[in-house]
Structure 1
């Protein structure tokens, strides 16, 4: 057994997925990672690390570490970078294999099913699908043309020939519909209706969700005969890069401490908890949040509405709000509702998608609910 095969075997055993072990042992991740990756250096930004700068053994050890390796930042592929790329968001990566497998397992994919993957990325997860299901059962769509071309080459070299589409994954792909399973390897704010229409009755949509406030949930929805999709969020907290059209807009420098003044007994530090942040996002879906020291900020780019919350010298917290939306008031009401329900994880919520709305509910479909942004 050569070194790459040995490392694949060790990775597969460590991940511990009987259904996907054969694929993990067969698919050469090094083909999909390519010739360079970025490392995150707090002082320098994203630093390119090239295969040519390492021994073959060290490079393979890096490739088969169960880590996410960023392959593109702001459109610049790692192999084309000659110096660090500072303070910009990654735009493509090779997701850690254990997370890829968790996604595939959560979707419940099995032999004989037709699968649409939203977000080809490097093509590694596409190759896993091909190995287990066969090339004809796998369709994958990638938005970025450079990333799509690179994945196409890697898949061909590895011997896989799925249907590959370069285009907007939010539109899905009618060509091979209907699909039994749709999985997204990027995060979305809302579920595109095209996905629901392209999945067969009884089929499922499995997608990480990420809003502008940073709240996450892992959706697993079943499509009904009336063309709606619904289900509870899953127990896993998974983080994927946002689909580019669903990414938050840039924020300008914010003015703090202006507007109407009130007080609150809700500690803004609650929003460092993932479930609480998700609830806050439901109440203020167009807002982004940040911290200026111990001051929480919420800002809605569309309306200019703003809130900031800071400790009060006398106890509690002082709130400043301005604009047509009272962001903190809405967040506070939602947090109180969540607290009264026992502070459940996101899996205590569910989602129903119709042609008219997308509604997140708490507890059961008749419980308190919030509409996702149109």
Structure 2
């Protein structure tokens, strides 16, 4: 048995032991897909101890490259929208823009989406093509359509899939618009995060079909949701928990903050919701529902540290700081941003502070909302 085969078997055994590979059918599919074939261009690993994170390239043939390919880890394959490992000798300090998803999460999502042997699937975000190949191995090429926003990423995925003899329908375009030409689909699975589930996905999923997508926002908290599409064109379903995180779809990335408004203006009052409450993942997730375009930053103003939420599109903001042993909020702009946050958290706490897997998401003509 080759080193590659041993590493592949160990990965599958580890996933099975951890419970992330419960289905023998999906294990057989994963056994036929060599992950290293989708990483021959190399990947980036974080430089230990760097802050902000610096990345260094691992190229095919480098020590540890093959073992890394079969680690149950997300592997960054592109940085700053254009930079790939072949471009780097040394380190780069820019944000990742494409990656190979953790293999156990790939298999978990296929299980969570209840993908059946006769399912027609639209994948949003081809990435390296690894998850596309796993679906092809079980469903057949004709059942799989995958759309990728980045043309260069799509080109590399197409080549890797061809190398392992798989030729599904691959599309370059905006995944938020879906791919109507091959609709309707039984399942839509997104390997990128979204702020709101797009209407096009509902329109292209047959009634009773499922959409599996990570819903999040600009405060950095996201959760995996499984929505059932109804006869009336709406969709609803539970969050599955686990704090699943994907890079946001590029059209859903936050705008630059630009020139900040005058934060000394506005109305000031006391608040019972402290700024560091936003350090909690669940609270940030709930806040994003009522302040979906808000970004968070910390500023030092006249020697006072302020925690700021700002919606640059709307021009609304809220700044919090401690004063004489109490928390104070100052708000400005056309909407009272912190009032909405307080109301949301008050209702949530009054109902017993339900966990994420007790929340549901609803999407319809009035938009998207989270309920419990």
TM-score, normalization by structure 1: 0.91
1:35–1:50 CA contact under 8 A, matched in 2: no
Query: Is 1:280 aligned to residue 287 of structure 2?
Result: yes
From 201, 204, 229, the equivalent of 1:198 is 204
SS of match in other structure, 2:145? strand
For residues 52 and 338 of structure 2, the distance between their equivalents in structure 1, rounded to whole angstroms, comes to 36
For residues 347 and 52 of structure 1, the distance between their equivalents in structure 2, rounded to whole angstroms, comes to 40
The Cα RMSD (Å) is 1.8
1:257–1:308 CA contact under 8 A, matched in 2: no
From 331, 334, 347, the equivalent of 2:341 is 331
Where do 5+ consecutive residues of structure 2 fail to align?
none
Name the structure 1 match of 2:92. 85
Change (3 A) 1:276 1:43: closer
Question: After the TM superposition, which residues 296-315 of structure 1 pair with which residues of structure 2 at under 5 Å, given as runs?
Answer: 296-314=307-325
What is the count of residue pairs matched by the alignment? 358
SS of match in other structure, 2:298? strand
From 178, 183, 188, the equivalent of 1:182 is 188
SS of match in other structure, 1:131? helix
From 49, 54, 59, the equivalent of 2:57 is 49
Name the structure 2 match of 1:250. 256
Structure 1 residue ranges (4+ consecutive) displaced by more than 4 angstroms after TM superposition: 253-258
1:131 CA drift (Å): 0.8
Name the structure 2 match of 1:267. 274
Once the two structures are superposed, residues 172-193 of structure 1 have per-residue CA deviations (whole angstroms, 9 ceiling, x without a partner) of 1122211111100001111111
From 193, 209, 215, the equivalent of 1:209 is 215
For residues 189 and 106 of structure 2, the distance between their equivalents in structure 1, rounded to whole angstroms, comes to 11
For residues 68 and 4 of structure 2, the distance between their equivalents in structure 1, rounded to whole angstroms, comes to 11
Question: After the TM superposition, which residues 1-374 of structure 1 pair with which residues of structure 2 at under 5 Å, given as runs?
Answer: 1-16=1-16, 17-19=21-23, 20-41=26-47, 42-43=50-51, 45-52=53-60, 54-55=62-63, 58-74=64-80, 75-86=82-93, 88-252=94-258, 254=260, 258-292=265-299, 295-314=306-325, 316-354=326-364, 356-363=365-372
Once the two structures are superposed, residues 65-101 of structure 1 have per-residue CA deviations (whole angstroms, 9 ceiling, x without a partner) of 1111111011212222234222x32110011111212
Name the structure 2 match of 1:366. none
TM-score, normalization by structure 2: 0.91
SS of match in other structure, 1:186? strand
For residues 253 and 205 of structure 1, the distance between their equivalents in structure 2, rounded to whole angstroms, comes to 38
Where do 5+ consecutive residues of structure 1 fail to align?
364-374
Change (3 A) 1:324 1:143: same
Name the structure 2 match of 1:370. none
SS of match in other structure, 1:185? strand
1:45 CA drift (Å): 4.5
Once the two structures are superposed, residues 130-155 of structure 1 have per-residue CA deviations (whole angstroms, 9 ceiling, x without a partner) of 11111111110000000000000000
For residues 313 and 371 of structure 2, the distance between their equivalents in structure 1, rounded to whole angstroms, comes to 27
1:292 CA drift (Å): 4.3
2:289–2:370 CA contact under 8 A, matched in 1: no
For residues 328 and 184 of structure 1, the distance between their equivalents in structure 2, rounded to whole angstroms, comes to 31
For residues 290 and 185 of structure 1, the distance between their equivalents in structure 2, rounded to whole angstroms, comes to 27
1:307 CA drift (Å): 1.0
1:5–1:25 CA contact under 8 A, matched in 2: no
1:9–1:24 CA contact under 8 A, matched in 2: no
